[in-house]
Chain A
């Protein structure tokens, strides 16, 4: 299975945020996109998740037009973006149960309890989300994204604002989901973590996507140096 974007462009007023992007995410690979603030990474993730319609271009999942048949495509995607995508006054368990019912997840109560245990939130499962710290929220977001067993995960800045332990947890979870056969897209500024979890690397600069290398073709240091050089070249 794969998610395929071709010639995606998104303009807000006269400003081009995402420019002619071609990207394919296959199951079992972790695509990491590095880019500075304002490069268009979040907009691209929102387009890939079908939350935002592009100005032009095509998005397909297994040959299905994602914007024509969004119900079918969305059920195959797990998303983490900067928003919680949940209700702060409901508890973690209530939120998972509600979204599980919406997805039509079977054996829902068991599934919610298992996921909350896996992400280390079992003690807080009956606490409302608004009391959660950034790290706890990120753990909840992972549970929410995995609730319906999606084939593709789209993770926007999954490491931002997390302490070392939480970063370690997210890294391990990404590796585990890759082994489970999911296709994963990550956007990040963090070249170290991005390199560690990724299998294919791209830069996103000023809305344009540039293919860099596969993991076996580049070292972490070389990637970091290349990214810094690319950023310096872009800085006016």
Chain B
């Protein structure tokens, strides 16, 4: 029953997002703009060393993903609050943890789609695309995925709280960004390393990325009932 409810909720979330297309259009355009602004700002003569180029590309990728993530999280809960749909879901008796997990999965799917599209574009604009092997690209997407799971794990919980308050959209950025600093730091370090040397030089950043994502996911799941039910 719980698994069926989670899959039903995920399908509903994706259907709402793909039908309205507002959020998807907004985050894709926003992310491409971020890449373009940095590409024009630093180009056309980019740093010559791969390490410097890697730093630039990784920072832009994480910056675009984080801010697109905030837009996605806000929109995702705004749809639930409009006309009391979240109350409708609560009235079905579904466990708040299942609602939380479904929201995390649907937001991760949308952000992963964005990252799959935006990563090759960013690498192309920063002149790294030809130097990055398919294996490194997949590893980079893997790092982004782990970071996205951790980001959405804590972001969904905070979006659930902030969207029920006035000025919730700006509140989410204020309360979320300080909390996800470990994920952004570790994710960016791993990505820089991958883009510069095709491997993760310092494994401790990867451990930190995975550990923070797991801790955020577990603790947010345990707190979901208090946030969704109150």
A interface with B by C-beta (< 8 Å):
49, 51, 53, 70-75, 77, 79, 81, 83-90, 94, 98-99, 101-104, 129, 144, 148
B84 lies within 8 A of A74 (CB) = no
Residues of B within 8 A of A72 (CB): 93
Chain A: minimal CB distance from B182 (Å)? 34
A98-B8, A101-B4 known; A84+B91 contact, CB < 8 A: no
Residues of B within 8 A of A89 (CB): 16, 19-20
CA distance A51 to B230 in the complex (A): 8
Partner of B83 from the list A51, A83, A101, A103 (CB cut-off 8 Å) is: A83
A88 lies within 8 A of B83 (CB) = yes
- Which residue of A is nearest B79, CB measured? A87
A98 lies within 8 A of B83 (CB) = no
Residues of A within 8 A of B4 (CB): 101, 104
A74 lies within 8 A of B91 (CB) = yes
Chain B: minimal CB distance from A160 (Å)? 16
CA distance A79 to B91 in the complex (A): 8
B83 lies within 8 A of A84 (CB) = yes
Show 27 A/B contacts (Cβ-Cβ < 8 Å), sorted by A. Answer: A51-B87, A51-B90, A53-B230, A70-B93, A70-B229, A71-B95, A73-B93, A74-B90, A74-B93, A75-B93, A81-B87, A83-B84, A83-B87, A84-B84, A85-B84, A85-B87, A85-B88, A85-B91, A86-B85, A86-B88, A90-B15, A99-B88, A101-B8, A102-B5, A102-B94, A129-B83, A148-B92
The 10 A-B residue pairs with the shortest CB-CB distance, nearest first, are A83-B84, A85-B88, A71-B93, A102-B92, A84-B83, A74-B93, A101-B8, A75-B93, A85-B84, A87-B85
Residues of A within 8 A of B12 (CB): 87, 90, 98
Chain A: minimal CB distance from B39 (Å)? 35
Residues of A within 8 A of B91 (CB): 49, 51, 74, 77, 79, 85
Majority SS at the chain B contact face = helix
Q: Quick one: CB contact mask for B63-97 with A, threshold 8 Å, 1 for yes?
A: 00000000000000001001111011111111100
B134 CB-CB contact with A under 8 Å: no
B1 CB-CB contact with A under 8 Å: yes
A90-B15, A98-B12, A101-B8 known; A81+B84 contact, CB < 8 A: yes
CA distance A197 to B9 in the complex (A): 37
Residues of B within 8 A of A87 (CB): 12, 16, 79, 83, 85
| Given A51-B91, A74-B91, 4 further pairs, Cβ under 8 A | A70-B229, A94-B15, A99-B88, A104-B4
Inter-chain residue pair count (beta carbon < 8 A): 73
B92 lies within 8 A of A74 (CB) = yes
CA distance A86 to B84 in the complex (A): 7
- Which residue of B is nearest A72, CB measured? B93
Residues of B within 8 A of A49 (CB): 91
CA distance A214 to B196 in the complex (A): 81
CA distance A49 to B90 in the complex (A): 10
Residues of A within 8 A of B15 (CB): 90, 94
Residues of B within 8 A of A73 (CB): 93
CA distance A90 to B15 in the complex (A): 9
Chain A: minimal CB distance from B75 (Å)? 12
CA distance A88 to B9 in the complex (A): 16
Partner of A90 from the list B1, B16, B90, B95 (CB cut-off 8 Å) is: B16
Chain B: minimal CB distance from A170 (Å)? 19
CA distance A85 to B84 in the complex (A): 5
CA distance A104 to B2 in the complex (A): 11
Chain A: minimal CB distance from B30 (Å)? 22
CA distance A94 to B15 in the complex (A): 10
